[in-house]
Amino acid sequence: MKIADNIYIVGSGDNGFGLTHYLDCTVYLVDVGNNQLILIDAGIGLETERILAEIQRDGFDPTHISDIFLTHSHVDHAGGAHYFVQNFGTKVWALEPTAKYVSAGSYQDTSFDRAALAGIYPQNYQFYPCDVETLIPEIPCHVGNATITAIATPGHCSGHACYLVESNSQKHLFSGDLIFAKGKIAVQNLWDSSIPEYFESIKTIARMHPQSIFPSHGPFLLNRGYSILETAERIFSMTDIPQNY
């Protein structure tokens, strides 16, 4: 589903657009040129063939997915990475904590153990590890004609990243689970969810004043994306907590 120049939604569950498995985060495909495609996140890894079908429906060949950039290690975002590595030799990238957790397949560090006990995921679900390369925050990398910069934004969880993707004179921010429409956030009762870190991360991204923001769940904003960051920052500044997603 094309949503902007060279940007497509190819996966999205019940907290988004209902395209693929109901537990998938929103999976974005970016056509970066030179016959290369990248994904932002990979979904949960259940019924991944439905993501492939969406990629093909948009006119692309899944074998051209050269890289996946994970916003964080929660399994609705990272669980599908193993499939692409095994079937297409895709490279997976993340900030150091996320790379460590996903490479190890750690149920504790990814908080999968807590989520499974809460009944969020099917009882027979397995999280398969895969090799993940480490990105350095604020150091751009280049894929095709695009420049991708990881910005460290802890608060939702350890190792969370937003990605600034610059291509064809356009800049787009993929915000993972940092910020959502109407200034909502995602604080959870997990070991690595931190309200003070969350506030600092919101301020960091707000200073960038992004026009377009593509969250991992729910609506995206093509214009005035900065407004939802300003909403969350204002509420945090009043010593309150923005509405949880």
Strands of 141-143's sheet in order across: 141-143, 146-152, 161-167, 170-176, 213-215
Q: Where are the domains of the chain?
A: 2-237
Q: What is the pLDDT of residues 89-132, one digit of tens each?
A: 999 999 999 999 999 999 999 999 999 999 999 989 999 999 99
Q: How confident is the model at residue 168 (pLDDT cuts 50, 70, 90)?
A: confident
Give mean pLDDT, residues 184-208. 97
Q: H/E/C letters for each residue in 35-103? A: CEEEEECCCCCCCHHHHHHHHHHCCCCHHHEEEEECCCCCHHHHCCHHHHHHHHCCEEEEEHHHHHHHH
pLDDT of residue 106: 95
pLDDT of residue 167: 87
pLDDT of residue 4: 95
Mean pLDDT of the chain: 97
Q: How confident is the model at residue 236 (pLDDT cuts 50, 70, 90)?
A: very high
Q: In the block, which residue shows the tokens 């992004």? A: 210
Rounded to 5 degrees, φ, ψ at 188 are -130, 155
pLDDT of residue 140: 97
Burial of 242 (0-12, 13-18, 19+ CB in 10 A): buried
Q: What is the pLDDT of residues 32-69, one digit of tens each?
A: 999 999 999 999 999 999 999 999 999 999 999 999 99
Q: Taking 90 as the threshold, does the pLDDT of residue 175 lie above it?
A: yes
pLDDT of residue 13: 98
The number of helices, as runs of H, and strands, as runs of E, in the chain is: 7, 12
Spatial contact of 172 and 149, defined as CB atoms under 8 Å apart = no
Task: Tell which CATH classification among 3.50.50.60, 3.40.50.1100, 3.10.180.10, 3.60.15.10 matches the domain 2-237.
Answer: 3.60.15.10
